[in-house]
Amino acid sequence: DAGVIQSPRHEVTEMGQEVTLRCKPISGHDYLFWYRQTMMRGLELLIYFNNNVPIDDSGMPEDRFSAKMPNASFSTLKIQPSEPRDSAVYFCASSGGGGWRGSYEQYFGPGTRLTVT
Amino acid sequence: SQQGEEDPQALSIQEGENATMNCSYKTSINNLQWYRQNSGRGLVHLILIRSNEREKHSGRLRVTLDTSKKSSSLLITASRAADTASYFCATDGRYGQNFVFGPGTRLSVLP
């Protein structure tokens, strides 16, 4: 398996523009997570899905952020409009779940480095 | 809010020495995991320890868990330059699958 795939790897955009980040989880994994990492705030969970359904979006900073998972093999994180403070590395991760006592190991993608000028 | 807090924030050792990092957390957990992040890369899972376990080994890694003290430690024995990375502990959140990551320990292993 190729692992978790994210695109693009780097994104530079101007304030006010829409940004869409993409993620393809590992085949067969039923949990998908979106994280944001900055020097100041560390690694923050934004939202996670189970079987394509959003379970907890309490980490989404504000209404400018939205995430979708239309099928088991694809998810998007959209920021509209983008602001300079959104500059960060955004990671997608997936896990096999497997129930309450199942596998919790998360597999991370390489990340998308977003710069908003 | 962050559940796990790693200590120290940064650690610098010589190759061949052992490295110990600690993680403290506030509320009861079911599982605790350790991850490694090389510069510019995604996190990589190292080891998971369940609340009913006290110690686990994986190669040169040894993890302990003391639920009475709400703390865990990660020991890397015979460190190598390739172990240079940031190490994070993650504790399970409200829904079990939602793990909360600490701020990490930055380990530098000098050749």
Report how many Cβ contacts below 8 Å link chain A to chain B: 57
For chain B, the average pLDDT equals 90
Show Cβ contacts of residue B14 under 8 Å, excluding neighbours closer than 6 positions: B109, B110
pLDDT of residue A37: 95
Put simply, whether A70 touches B (Cβ < 8 Å) is: no
Contact between chains at B95 and A97 (C-beta distance less than 8 A): no
pLDDT of residue B15: 97
Residues of A in contact with B91 (CB under 8 A): none
pLDDT (0 to 100) of residue B40: 86
Q: Which of B42, B93, B103 comes nearest A108 by C-beta?
A: B42
Q: How far apart are CA A34 and CA A112, in angstroms?
A: 11
CA distance A104 to chain B (A): 7
The pLDDT value recorded for residue A105 is 86
User: Does the pLDDT of residue B91 top 90, yes or no?
Assistant: no
Residues 6 or more apart in contact with residue B83 via CB below 8 angstroms: B19, B76, B107, B109
Q: What is the DSSP secondary-structure string of B43-73?
A: EEEEEEEETT-SEEEETTEEEEEETTTTEEE
Per-residue pLDDT reduced to its tens digit, B32-52:
999 999 998 999 999 999 889
